[in-house]
């Protein structure tokens, strides 16, 4: 109980520090906020282009596909605002050896690095994405059912866990190879494919995006849940997948810490 309180306090302190850092440079803060909204608008362009020529793609109508994009953007906002900054902090720490200071603190190192940095202005991105989701349902002419919404929320948690676990795996690699900038670009590029419903992909790619890099579990399934189209088997698969990835990530992280060689003085 005491340690739970300790970690809750730590989280508050870490978030407060990130906020203080963010507002330290005012112009930067506003620019980042504006950029976040700009990129959200850009995200919609491919979809608008495709659907300007046809009514449906792989069985998905425009508003339905918009639900996937909205969901993808919500997740991307969480990734950009809550996950990527922290993990970039680790990669930097490994390269420069400043991760030493994290490992010398009496708290779980994975918790510390995962909460090290947040980008508060991404909240704009997040709200904008919710706006896209609301608009999509408005186009559909109905609101999601309460039950579907609940499953959607649960899958949102699963998606965040999946995303975070994958990032932890990428970062764990940095303990061995030190420089992983390109790996993180690759990660972000692959994640970008999540804006499309999984049915758009065929064959091996579909399998990879369901099992190896489970984009389907992150964006398509939750969107299907909101639309009331997800089977319980798929919901269960997503839940199990999330837990499995979290366990694997924790295991790999622990192993990777052993390989940390710090940087020379």
Partner 1 sequence: MIRARELCKTYRVHRRPPGLLAALRSVVRRRYEEVRALVDVSFAIAPGERVGFLGPNGAGKTTALKILSGLLYPTSGSVTVGEFVPQERRSEFLHMITLVMGQKQQLLWDLPPAETFAMNRALFDLPRREADATQKELVDLLEVGPLIGKPTRQLSLGERMKCELVAALLHRPRVLFLDEPTIGLDVSMQARVRDFIRRYNESTGASVLLTSHYMEDVAALCPRVIVIDKGHLIYDGDLRTLARRIRPEKRITMHFSSLPAPGELDRLGSCVARSELQATLAVPAAQVTEAVRAALGRLPISDISVEDPPLEEIMQEFLGGQPANGRVKSA
Q: Rule CB under 8 A: is residue 53 a binding residue for partner 1?
A: no
What tokens appear for 260 in the block? 């940390």
Angle at CA of residue 42, ends 59 and 25, nearest 5°: 140
Among 4, 20, 54, 232, binds partner 1 (CB under 8 A): 20
| CA–CA distances in Å: residue 207 to residues 45, 154, 212, 232 | 26, 23, 8, 19
Neighbouring residues of 57: CB distance < 8 A, sequence distance ≥ 6: 50, 51, 65, 197, 200
| Among the listed residues 35, 58, 96, 207, the single contact to partner 1 using CB under 8 A | 96
Helix (H) or strand (E) holding 61: strand 60-61
Using the rule CB under 8 A, give the single segment among 17-25, 69-77, 119-127, 184-192 that binds partner 1.
17-25
Strands 56-57 and 60-61 turn out to be antiparallel
Nearer of residues 53 and 258 to partner 1, judged by Cβ: 258
Strand partners, 57: 60
The label of the residue with tokens 């999540």 reads 194
Does the footprint of partner 1 cover residue 262 (CB under 8 A)? yes
Looking at 18-26, 43-51, 122-130, 192-200, which segment touches partner 1 (CB under 8 A)? 18-26
- Asked if residue 100 binds partner 1 (CB under 8 A), the reply is yes
Instruction: Please count the residues of this chain forming the interface with partner 1, following the rule CB under 8 A.
Output: 29
- Residue in this structure with the two tokens 């009496």, named with its chain if needed: 106
* Residue 138 or 255 with smaller CB distance to partner 1: 255
Residue 98 interacting with partner 1 (CB under 8 A): yes
Please report, as ranges, the residues that interact with partner 1 according to CB under 8 A.
6, 9-10, 13-14, 17, 20-21, 24-25, 96-98, 100-101, 103-107, 109, 112, 258, 260-265
């Amino acid at each position: 109980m005491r340690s739970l309180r300790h970690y809750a306090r730590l989280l508050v302190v870490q978030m407060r520090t990130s906020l203080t850092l963010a507002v330290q440079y005012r112009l930067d803060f506003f620019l980042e906020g504006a950029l976040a909204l700009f990129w959200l608008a850009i995200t919609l362009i491919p979809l608008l282009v495709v659907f300007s020529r046809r009514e449906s793609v792989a069985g998905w109508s425009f508003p339905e596909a918009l639900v996937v994009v909205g969901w993808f953007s919500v997740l991307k906002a969480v990734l950009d605002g809550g996950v990527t900054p922290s993990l970039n902090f680790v990669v930097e720490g490994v390269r420069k050896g400043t991760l030493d200071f994290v490992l010398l603190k009496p708290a779980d190192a994975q918790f510390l690095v995962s909460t090290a940095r947040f980008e508060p202005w991404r909240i704009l991105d997040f709200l904008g994405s919710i706006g896209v989701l609301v608009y999509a349902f408005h186009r559909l002419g109905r609101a999601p059912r309460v039950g579907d919404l609940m499953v959607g929320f649960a899958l949102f948690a699963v998606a965040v866990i999946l995303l975070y676990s994958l990032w932890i795996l990428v970062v764990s690699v940095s303990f061995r190879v030190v420089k992983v900038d390109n790996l993180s670009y690759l990660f972000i590029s692959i994640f970008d494919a999540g804006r499309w419903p999984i049915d758009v992909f065929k064959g091996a790619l579909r399998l990879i995006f369901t099992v190896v890099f489970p984009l389907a579990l992150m964006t398509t399934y939750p969107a299907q849940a909101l639309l009331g189209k997800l089977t319980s088997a798929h919901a269960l698969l997503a839940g199990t997948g999330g837990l499995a990835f979290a366990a694997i990530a924790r295991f790999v992280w622990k192993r990777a810490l052993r390989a940390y060689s710090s940087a020379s003085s």
